């Protein structure tokens, strides 16, 4: 069993829909990161959080440390949000990654 599990693996949505991507982990962490990878490979850090909730534009990330669970929400989704979203958990210098969720937003 992976230490970091993401769901769903693939997600297709219509433009404007509210999207949720989930991340569950089984190890102790100091922080959790949400990353975005567009076709072509480059990875961009969206959020890093160790408690509570963060918001940036249409993106919201939450974490529940007790339940070892985090969610990434996208409001009013747009085709340019189409990408792979990756959850990564950190404990000191050790990072573990989920396999990613491939999101496709159709116009």
Q: Which is nearer to other proteins, 35 or 72 (CB)?
A: 35
Of positions 19, 83, 86, 103, contacts other proteins by CB under 8 A? 86
**CA distances, 79 to each of 28, 41, 83, 102, 105 (Å):** 35, 18, 9, 13, 5
Task: Give the nearest distance from C-beta 50 to other proteins in angstroms.
Answer: 6
80: helix, strand or coil: helix
CB 20 within 8 A of CB 71: yes
Of 18-57, which residues contact other proteins (CB under 8 A)? Answer: 29-31, 33, 35, 40-45, 48, 50
Task: Give the nearest distance from C-beta 15 to other proteins in angstroms.
Answer: 26
Determine which helix (DSSP H) or strand (DSSP E) holds 54, and give its type and residue range: strand 52-56
Give yes or no for residue 59 binding other proteins (CB under 8 A): no
């Amino acid at each position: 069993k992976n230490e970091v599990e993401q769901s769903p693996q693939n997600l297709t949505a219509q433009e404007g829909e509210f999207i949720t991507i989930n991340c569950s982990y089984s190890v102790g962490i100091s922080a959790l990161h949400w990353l975005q990878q567009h076709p072509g490979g480059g990875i961009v850090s969206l959020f890093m959080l160790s408690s509570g909730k963060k918001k940036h534009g249409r993106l919201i990330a939450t974490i529940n440390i007790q339940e070892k669970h985090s969610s990434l929400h996208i409001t009013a989704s747009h085709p340019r949000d189409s990408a792979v979203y990756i959850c990564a958990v950190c404990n000191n210098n050790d990072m573990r990654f989920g396999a990613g969720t491939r999101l496709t937003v159709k116009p």
